[in-house]
Amino acid sequence: MTVIMTTPPLESLDTPALVLDETRMLRNIERLRRHIGSLGVSVRPHLKTAKSVEVARQLLTDGHGPATVSTLKEAEVFAAAGVGDVLYAVGISPAKLPRVLALRKRGCDVSVVLDSLEQARAVAEASRESGDPIPVLIEIDCDGHRSGMRAGDPLILDIARVLTSGGAELRGVMTHAGESYGAVGAEALAAFAERERAAVVSVAETLRASGFPCRVVSMGSTPTAHFARDLGGVTEVRAGVHVFFDLVMEGIGVCSRDDIALSVLTTVIGHQPTRGWIIVDAGWMALSRDRGTASQAVDQGYGVVCDADGAGFEDLIVVSANQEHGIVALRPGSRATLPDLPVGTRLRILPNHACATAAQFDGYQVLRAGTDTPLAYWPRIRGW
């Protein structure tokens, strides 16, 4: 392998390209698995970040599940790859039930989430008609972020009744502390995790006290999963972006810069010296339009600029992005010196939001860990 090893593996790639550092990814996976394991619970990873069968094999317990997905397309691809236990964690629309049933018929234990009587009636009806009791988690809203029912809402018991008497399987409850992305630091995130836990566990207790089954009590977001101190009453924790991490997660203190496993490889294509700009061939088509750090203490523009080996430059970020042009400059107020980066120089950009940046690409150029093949290509799942 000498020939390959003397040429750094990224040199041969056209830019822009999506680079995944497998060593960092494996460290991130292990960190969360150990933490949640130490609290006596297992992880149900959310595959929406990576959307990759190869990543799922490393992320999932024994490579086959349990897993969380954000689209039925993901469920279909992962099921075909042998994942046998999938939670589709977006409120079910009745028109999607035939695809859920088709997947279940092929042997994949797909469960769905809902938060209304109309959805419960549709799931119950589809369960009766198919003779297959579709498993359901009732979605609980723990922080006003988006979907779900408030703990204490009497409608929850009505939904439980419609499901259990109607032919569906009431499997449990789930919640997602989406607002935790706005909290910063260990104490605030631990408090969020406790609020998330308390909300979903209280509903589980109410259901059981009323004679309903509630085998699964599912919570999670990457921030709360890493800072939870007590998971009493919870049976599983979901997290997604921890597999790669990103600048938003660094900004709220969930990871360090060095944990970020994903970057966009780009090439310098020009300069505007009087304005202090370096133009690169990664615009928003490669980086995404996600500006998740704009509301944080440190705004990273469209991403932090590193050299081709991943070492950062002081204060150098992508300050602006057009479709195929990124404008690299020192962050406002910086006293650092603009580095000399001639046309043709390769750089790597760390993303604000790994889920959004990865979605701009069809697959990963993977810097493999501990193998003689330094570079692999792992395709991503697209569409719905």
Binding residues for a second copy (CB under 8 A): 14-17, 48, 70-71, 90-96, 99, 114-116, 118-119, 122, 141, 144, 146-147, 178, 267-272, 275, 277, 279, 281, 284-286, 288-291, 320, 322-325, 327, 342-344, 355-356, 359-362, 382-384
Nearer to a second copy, 310 or 351 (CB): 351
Nearer to a second copy, 41 or 47 (CB): 47
For residue 321, how many C-alpha atoms fall within 13 Å in the half-sphere facing its CB? 22
Nearer to a second copy, 190 or 317 (CB): 317
Nearer to a second copy, 26 or 285 (CB): 285
Minimum gap (Å) between residue 286 Cβ and a second copy = 8
Task: Give CA–CA dist 79/297, Å, rounded.
Answer: 41
SS3 159: helix
Whether the CB-CB separation of 89 and 112 falls below 8 Å is answered with: no
Minimum gap (Å) between residue 334 Cβ and a second copy = 20
Nearer to a second copy, 333 or 342 (CB): 342
Minimum gap (Å) between residue 111 Cβ and a second copy = 16
Minimum gap (Å) between residue 8 Cβ and a second copy = 14
How many CB atoms are located within 10 Å of the residue 184 CB? 15
Task: Give CA–CA dist 242/75, Å, rounded.
Answer: 20
Nearer to a second copy, 104 or 380 (CB): 380
SS3 196: helix
Nearer to a second copy, 113 or 217 (CB): 113
Angstrom distances, CA of residue 193 to CA of 26, 176, 200, 225: 24, 10, 11, 7
Minimum gap (Å) between residue 279 Cβ and a second copy = 5
Whether the CB-CB separation of 346 and 15 falls below 8 Å is answered with: yes
Nearer to a second copy, 198 or 359 (CB): 359
Task: Enter the tokens of residue 205.
Answer: 């207790």
SS3 93: coil
Q: What DSSP assignment string belongs to 222-252?
A: HHHHHH-S--TT--EE---GGGT--HHHHHT
Minimum gap (Å) between residue 215 Cβ and a second copy = 23
Minimum gap (Å) between residue 115 Cβ and a second copy = 6
Minimum gap (Å) between residue 93 Cβ and a second copy = 5
Whether the CB-CB separation of 363 and 18 falls below 8 Å is answered with: yes
Burial of 344 by CB count in 10 Å (0-12 exposed, 13-18 middle, 19+ buried)? exposed
Nearer to a second copy, 215 or 289 (CB): 289
Helices assigned H by DSSP within 90-154 = 97-105, 117-130
Whether the CB-CB separation of 362 and 380 falls below 8 Å is answered with: yes
Minimum gap (Å) between residue 324 Cβ and a second copy = 5
Which amino acid belongs to residue 156?
I
Angstrom distances, CA of residue 347 to CA of 22, 43, 222, 304: 19, 35, 28, 10
